[in-house]
Amino acid sequence: MSEPHPALSADEFASLREVSKGDAQCEIPQLHWERLVGLGYAMRRLGELGLTASGLRRLASGQ
């Protein structure tokens, strides 16, 4: 049986929260945004990271 969500470290999840802030997001480590994009939780648009529907669901799950 597959895990419902790939494991994110506490720091990666904190970065996911920062991405959700939109314009207020602080710089997150490049490795974090690459992983979030790779997992489909975020996408880069016009030089900014934004959450995808999967990212919003992951954030709502609280883990």
User: In this prediction, what percent of the chain has a pLDDT beyond 90?
Assistant: 57
Residues facing residue 51 across a β-bridge? 42
Q: Would residue 62 be called left, alpha or beta, if left means φ above 0 and alpha means ψ between -120 and 50 degrees?
A: left
Looking at residue 7, its pLDDT comes to 84
Average pLDDT of the segment spanning 48-52: 90
- pLDDT > 90? residue 3: no
pLDDT tens digit sequence for 19-49? 998 865 668 898 998 999 999 999 988 878 8
Work out the pLDDT band at 6, boundaries 50, 70, 90: confident
Predicted TM-score (pTM) of this structure: 0.83
